[in-house]
């Protein structure tokens, strides 16, 4: 059973209009997933990061649609609980979010996902479709503390635009 | 050590109920009742969530996303609980 803090987060993420919009895409289509995997790989290569993701954030979980460098329990689950998701913050804020060093970032204190994966830094940008809904995020993560530059965030933003185009091709 | 790895608990029928009501808004009670009926459960059975999830998978697209979120949480719990158990044994 979820805690009140978790339920508050799930309520913010699970607004009916946002989830209805997400449901308008065929998120399980293999071709969509393959294209988003390729996009994630390109971001990881271009930004020299071990992990890159294209995700949507559902009400209580981050659902990874395309990924590079994802393994273990995260790969098996195809995502992570929303309360551990840095992308959930990117979605709720609707703007780029950067964490240079999770060990010194108060918002990341005691985040089990970071502890379990050994990831230390994050840069993510929102995926915003033509309805204005924030569907998810495109992000990279690194195992080392790292200052992501504006130019690197711009690369992610271009990737997010491309992810939205790919998603648009899979609207029902 | 807690049996909830990293504070993560497996999803329950109550979590599924909350999720369905959250994402369906005013239609939540009607849809929840139909899903319970479709699964042939009252929600009180020990295996109610196991029986509900396949019904959620075959329901409308919004409900399918609820099922996916619950499965991500369930698989995360199962994987981490197994690792947690190994490190304790």
Predicted confidence at residue A50, as pLDDT, reads: 97
Cα(B43)–Cα(A141) distance, rounded to whole angstroms?
Answer: 40
CB contact under 8 A, B62 and A77: no
Q: Is the confidence at residue B86, as pLDDT, over 90?
A: no
Two tokens, residue A21: 């919009």
Given a cut of 50, is residue B1 above it in pLDDT?
no
Q: Is B81 on the interface with A (CB under 8 A)?
A: no
Which of B8, B11, B23 is closest, CB to CB, to A14?
A: B23
- In the predicted model, what is the mean pLDDT of residues B7-17? 95
Using the Cα atoms of residue A155, residue A39, residue A142 and residue A138 in order, give the sign of their dihedral.
Answer: positive
Q: Which pLDDT does position B88 carry in this prediction?
A: 65
Task: State the pLDDT at residue B87.
Answer: 67
The pLDDT value recorded for residue A4 is 85
Q: Which of A11, A19, A61 sits opposite B73 (nearest CB)?
A: A61
pLDDT surpassing 90 at residue B83: no
Q: Give pLDDT, residue A64.
A: 98
CA A99 to chain centre: 13
Of A21, A80, A44, A75, nearest to A159 by C-alpha is A44
Are residues A63 and B73, on separate chains, in Cβ contact within 8 Å? no
Q: How confident is the model at residue B2 (pLDDT cuts 50, 70, 90)?
A: low
Nearest by CB to residue B69, choosing from A61, A72, A115, is: A61
Cβ atoms of B18 and A7 closer than 8 Å: yes
Please count the other Cβ atoms lying within 10 Å of the Cβ belonging to residue B31: 19
* Phi/psi-derived region of residue A91, left when phi > 0, alpha when psi is between -120 and 50, beta in every other case: alpha
Query: Pseudo-torsion of CA A97, A82, A51, A32, nearest 10°?
Result: -100
Whole-number Å distance between alpha carbons of A45 and A142? 12
Mean pLDDT in residue range B10-32? 96
Residue A1 has what pLDDT?
67
pLDDT value, residue B65 = 98
- What is the residue-level pLDDT of chain A in tens, covering all 172 positions? 678 889 999 999 999 999 999 999 999 999 999 999 999 999 999 999 999 999 999 999 999 999 999 999 999 999 999 999 999 999 999 999 999 999 999 999 889 999 989 999 999 999 999 999 999 999 999 999 999 999 999 999 999 999 999 999 999 9
Looking at residue B89, what is its pLDDT? Answer: 60
SS (H, E, C) chain A: CCCHHHHHHHHHHCCHHHHHHHHCECCCCHHHHHHHHHHHHHHHHHCCCCEEEEEEECCCEEEEEEEECCCHHHHHHCEEEHHHCHHHHHHHHCCCEEECCCCCCHHHCCCHHHHHHCCCEEEEEEEECCCCCEEEEEEEEECCCCCCCHHHHHHHHHHHHHHHHHHHCCEC
The predicted structure's pLDDT at residue B5: 85
Complete domains list, chain A, with CATH: 4-168 (3.30.450.40)
Q: How far is B10 from chain A (nearest CA, A)?
A: 8
Give per-residue pLDDT as tens, B31-62. Answer: 999 999 999 999 999 999 999 999 999 999 99
More confident residue, B71 or B89: B71
């Amino acid at each position: 059973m979820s805690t009140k803090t978790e339920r508050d987060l799930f309520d913010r993420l699970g607004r009916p209009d946002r989830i209805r919009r997400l449901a308008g895409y065929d998120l399980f289509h293999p071709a969509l997933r393959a294209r988003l995997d390729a996009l994630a790989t390109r971001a990881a290569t271009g930004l020299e990061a071990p992990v890159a993701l294209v995700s949507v954030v559902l009400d209580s979980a981050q659902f990874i649609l395309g990924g590079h460098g994802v393994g273990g329990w995260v790969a098996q689950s195809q995502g992570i609980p929303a309360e551990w998701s840095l992308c959930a913050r990117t979605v709720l804020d609707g703007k780029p979010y950067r964490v240079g060093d999770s060990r010194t970032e108060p918002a990341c204190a005691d985040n089990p996902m970071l502890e379990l994966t050994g990831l230390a830094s994050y840069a993510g940008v929102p995926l915003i479709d033509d309805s204005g809904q924030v569907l998810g995020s495109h992000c990279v993560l690194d195992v080392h503390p790292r200052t992501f530059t504006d130019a690197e965030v711009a690369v992610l933003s271009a990737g997010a635009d491309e992810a939205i185009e790919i998603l648009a091709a899979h609207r029902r | 050590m807690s049996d909830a790895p990293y504070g993560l608990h497996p999803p329950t029928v109550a979590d599924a109920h909350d999720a369905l009501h959250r994402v369906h808004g005013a239609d939540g009670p009607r849809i929840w009742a139909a899903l319970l009926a479709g699964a042939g459960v009252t929600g009180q059975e020990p295996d109610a969530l196991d029986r509900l999830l396949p019904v959620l998978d075959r329901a409308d697209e919004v409900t399918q996303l609820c099922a996916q979120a619950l499965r991500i949480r369930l698989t995360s719990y199962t994987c981490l609980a197994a690792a947690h158990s190994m490190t304790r044994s």
